[in-house]
Amino acid sequence: MNAMLETPELPAVFDGMKLAAVAAVLYVIVRCLNLKSPTASPDLYFQDSGLSRFLLKSCPLLTKEYIPPLIWGKSGHIQTALYGKMGRVRSPHPYGHRKFITMSDGATSTFDLFEPLAEHCVGDDITMVICPGIANHSEKQYIRTFVDYAQKNGYRCAVLNHLGALPNIELTSPRMFTYGCTWEFGAMVNYIKKTYPLTQLVVVGFSLGGNIVCKYLGETQANQEKVLCCVSVCQGYSALRAQETFMQWDQCRRFYNFLMADNMKKIILSHRQALFGDHVKKPQSLEDTDLSRLYTATSLMQIDDNVMRKFHGYNSLKEYYEEESCMRYLHRIYVPLMLVNAADDPLVHESLLTIPKSLSEKRENVMFVLPLHGGHLGFFEGSVLFPEPLTWMDKLVVEYANAICQWERNKSQCSDTEQVEADLE
């Protein structure tokens, strides 16, 4: 009788299986969320100089530990996904004026202008000229958040709307934005210089915008006039080198490629009449565009080869990527340049980061900042689960710009003092 009432051993086996299953799930969660990864201050690459020493002293974020939200902030994928889907938390709505510029080929470029909401820390007139990421514009939440913060720190902001990116602005020529075309950004900068002759410029580019602003500055020395500094965040530096890594499945890069290609297809097809309509006088290079290949494209490279390179008459994808990448222009930039990437950015392969590392070893004006976490344009901060409205990236760009403005002010004061002493002698 007692033997019949004994608890069978089988449930203990099931309990062990449940425990093993829970342990397996926890292991996957820890791995996927990268919970074991430490928090640390960003890795910095620079040459020892008066400028770099001043920046380290004036920019605490460069040497301070970057702490992302505890639960998910160490995952580059989640940081990237939240940036892409949500943009920012409690994003403000800065008030600006939309400006229209007619380009020489008939295209209508637009940008939004936001006046400062406070006096700048050095009391000067400073304008941030901002180039957003691929297919982005001034209405994107991450741009609105950054602009609002910059305005409150005394900066006027001019934000380029990539040609064809705004859904309510029609194309007026058979051309839209491309990977490295600087025409619209240059037109915006020239407008600012002409309208505000006393202003100085801080150039800022995010992702694809980082490529455009660096290429613009390096194209000619004249483009660097009145420019105090440049900041590039999360760009890949060389499309030619990136194309192979972007087709690989590690870090789900191929999947991101597919999602961005799908978005680009929607934008191009929304302008199909302006770009490919029978009534449109388009360049010869666009005449042989096969839209059926665009419909079936699953990567940015296929879209670039079938459509984008033809806007500027490139004969091959290789030529397009070589000419449109900023890598060949970076060494021609002489103003202070801060290049920022995240080590866990799933879109930018680690092999591409040798470009800014190598540049920072050769040029005193270049600082490369590489935090462990942040994803692609994420850089959220927070304690456990919920992120703060402002990101580490927003604060770093403004802090760096403030430091450069102060550096230039100190140099000017020293020059004035030396001149007075020379006159007295």
Measure the CA dihedral 219/222/228/234, to 10°: -10
Can you give the three-state secondary structure of 51-101, one letter per residue?
HHHHHHHHCHHHHCCECCCCCCCCCHHHHHHHHHHCCCCCCCCCCCEEEEE
- Please say if 148 is a catalytic residue: no
Place of tokens 């192979």: 244
Q: Closest Cα to residue 235, out of 322, 356, 136? A: 356
Length of the chain: 425
What does residue 230 show for φ and ψ, rounded to 5 degrees?
Answer: -135, 140
Pair 96, 173: CB distance under 8 Å: no
- Amino acid (1-letter code) at residue 98: R
Active site residue 345: yes
Does residue 271 carry a catalytic annotation? no
Single out the catalytic residue among 207, 232, 325, 360.
207
Q: Which of 112, 148, 304, 345 is catalytic?
A: 345
DSSP designation for 331: G
Q: Which of 77, 349, 373, 376 is catalytic?
A: 376
Cα 296 to the center of its chain, rounded Å = 28
As a whole number of angstroms, the longest Cα–Cα distance in the chain is 116
CB 234 within 8 A of CB 342: yes
Rg (CA), the chain: 25
Instruction: Give 227-278 as a DSSP string.
Output: EEEEEEES--S-HHHHHHHTT--GGGHHHHHHHHHHHHHHHHHHTHHHHH-T
Q: Which helix (H) or strand (E) holds 305?
A: helix 300-306
Determine contact, residues 116/149, Cβ cutoff 8 Å. Answer: no
Distance CA 186, CA 177 (A): 13
- Catalytic residues, which ones? 207, 345, 376
